[in-house]
Every structure is written in structure tokens, then in C-alpha cells.
Amino acid sequence: MAGRSDTPGDDRGDYGEEWARDLRIQFEQLLRTKRLTEFEQSRASRSRLDSPDPRERASSSNLRAPSAGPSNGGSRPSSSHGRGGGGGGSSASPPSYSSLRNLPKIPTPPAAHDRASQQFRNLLVSLSLTPTKYENPGLLDEALQAIPLDRIYSEAEEESQVMQAQAESMGDGRKPEWGYQDCVIRALLRWFKRTFFTWVNNPACPVCLSPTVARGRTQPTPEESAYGALRVELYECSNQSCRAYERFPRYSDVWRLLQTRRGRCGEWANCFSMLCRAVGGRVRWVWNAEDHVWTEVYSEHKQRWIHVDACEEAWDNPRLYTEGWGKQMSYCIAFSIDGATDVTRRYVRKSEHALERNRCPEEVMLYIMQEIKNIRRANMTKDQRFRLEKEDSKEDRELRGYVVASITQAVTRMVPGPSGSSPAPVASGRPSGSSPANDDQKLPAEQPGRQSGNAEWVAARGEGGRRNQQFQDPRDPPRR
């Protein structure tokens, strides 16, 4: 096994299923042995503190005899383990296991009696089906017919050449900021936001085109249900002489969204993610427990996942939601055809933006993520799984780097004087020791508040951030 560890990438054939199973069993045995050893050491240490030997007891009694003498009493500090009185082992508190807190968490399935964890697991498994719909060849052909490919590829080629020229002009051999495929997605993003899709606040009256007022929800028709509309919003015309009703089904069927071309963040992210897949991008659909969704696209040029929000025309700006909108978040889960990944650390960099993660224990969360990956990768070849596992490992290092950078920044702010100023890598949001490829596009001071949706809707969701807007009448017609 020592020989294999020297060159894992050159001899992948040696890494069979049997070898992986043996390695896992050895690791679990080693971990159990380590925990047992540390537990016994902790218990032995507490036993020595709570039950000193006769010489220590004699010494303690000698020290306690002249209780009036402060100098004698101060010669031996008291131990916090003896608070129970008498030093008896029966009254001592259980071990704190502080030495075990930093051990890796082991993925654990939800307990049979833990209904909350079971429900959360079922929800995530259900959500993981969303990106599988993007692999339908007929749907992708339909999407390509809706995209002005000549325009997209022309803009991408032009932007790519400009970036290449800028990189060459620096004279230091650096790579362009973005690759050609990244420029294709960027051009697609601009076209989708500015031309193709429409944001809906309150839909206009279908009869007189007057503004409408929300009247709650209604049941979907069989046709609407067939297109994935689980709920339908109902609006009434504000024109006294009309009073017509307009239905707004919240479709989840991507083919239907290609026809309607309207919606809010759910419809925008769903349709845009599919279009990115149609032009050849590797796509993730990212779900946030606090009612938002967006897209991630893998950049072969940067060798990492890029944040893309079609609603905001945002590119590689993961701190937009917390430091721009002022949004607090608990779970951000990225789903793809290859599995699921908890990417919360990419979007929540500071503790003040983090909500409590109480839907399930973290060990169960690790198990659910691995379970979905196993489901999606079950029919892949060994080489495909090996490549994805390397990507997973690299991304995990990136996400851990954000935690390190956040802690470093918080500690640095506590240091008084000029030395407390933040170092450049931390201030720019880049994990310490990482490459410039992990830089975010915008600094916190440049983060905008939410641009999509009218002011009242944004304020109700607490996503206005730094922008100061006047509230718009909810009866106003929808705007882009």
C-alpha cells in the first residue's frame, strides 16, 4: 500500500473496489482505537486529579491546617476538578471529550426516530432530481433553437480575444482572466437577462392590461399540474370596470418555461441552468433554504465552480447575498448530474450572516450528500468517479479556505493598532494561501442590494441591502 501512495495518479488500476473497502475498514479501526485511547487517557488523568496519592493528601492536609495563613494557602492553586467537594470520583463530572472535538465527523444516516432529519433527507433527494431534467436531448435541442447562437458565440469570441490581448499586454505570461467557454456563458447571461426572460411582480390584467392586485392562491388546473405547477397565484384587475382575474402558475417544467419566458428567481434559475447545459456547460442548480435559487457553472479555465445569478446578471460574486443583500442563510446546496455538495461556506463567509443549521445533525448532512453522490455516480466508470472525487477534494479545500480566511479576518480586527488592519488576501475575500483564481469579483463595499423585484417585495424579504429605494405601489405594472 505504501508503494501505491507514491503515485496515485499514474496507476489507477490498482485502486479497485476491494482496496478502497479495505482502506475504509482500516481507517475506521484506527479511528476507533484513537478515540478509545484518548478516552482512557482522559479518564486516567481525571482519576489522578480527583484521587491524589497519599503524599499529595498529606501535603494538602498540611496546607489546609494553618487556614489563616494566606501565604500557605496561596502556595498551591486549587484545581477546578475538585468542585464536587471531597475529591471523590463518584461526584466528579463526566469527561468533556475536548480532545475529540476536532476529529473528522463520520457520515451517519438519519435515526429512525428522527423525523426532522428524515424529512430533510427526503427533501434534498427530491431536489436532486432537478438537474437530471437538463439531460433530455429533445429539451436541449429545443433550447438551442431558442438561443441566438451566432450572436452568443460572436460576443464570446470578441470578449475572449480582448481578454487574451489584455493578458499578453502585461508581459508576464499570465493567463486571460476568463476562457472562451466562460465568455460563452457570460454572453448567454447578458442575453437571458436583457432580452429573453421577464421578471414578474404582479402580472398585468389579460383583458385591459391594467395593474393587478394579489388575491392569494388557488388550485392548479390539470394542465398546469402537468407542467409542474404545484401552486398558482391569483390576481385581480384593479380597474373597477374590469375586475378580471389572472392566474400565475409557478411552473417547474423547463420546456414550459421556454414558452412562457417569465417568472421569478425559481423560474429564472431553472431555465437559465438548462440553457447553460444546452451550450455545453457543466451546471449546478443551487438551492438555498431561505427561499432563493441560482446557478453554478464549472470553469475549465479556472478549474473551479463559478457563481452565476441570472436574476441579477451576477457573475462570480458569491458574497452578493450576505454582504450585498444583507441576507442571512443556513443551507446552500448545489445539485448537479454528478451529485450534491454543501456549498454554504462559499456564500456565508461571516458568522453574523449565518443562520442556525438545525434541519439535521452535521453528520447526517454529510451522509445525505454522499448518498446523493452515490446515486448519481452509480453507473459511472472508475475513471469518471476518480476524476469527480479529485474535484470534490479540491473544492473541499477551497471551502475550508474560506473558513480560515473568515477566522483570520475576525482575529485581525480584534488586534489593536495599525497591525490590526486586514492583510490584502483576507480583505479581498481570498482564502489565505490560495491562488488569485479564487478571488471574488467584488469587494464588500461594492456589493449591490437586490435589483430584481419591486421595492416592497425586496423589503419584505429583507434583501434590500445598501440600496435606498422608495416603495413602489404593488399595483404598478411589472417591470424588468
Please check whether residue 378 is in contact with residue 350, taking contact to mean a CB–CB distance below 8 angstroms.
Answer: no
- Grid coordinates of 67: 487556614
Q: Do residues 460 and 178 make contact, with C-beta atoms less than 8 angstroms apart?
A: no
Residues in contact with 450: Cβ distance below 8 Å, sequence separation at least 6, in sequence order? 312, 324, 325, 458, 461, 463, 464, 465, 467
Q: Which of 271, 295, 274 is nearest to 285 (CA)?
A: 295
Could you list the active site residues?
265, 292, 309
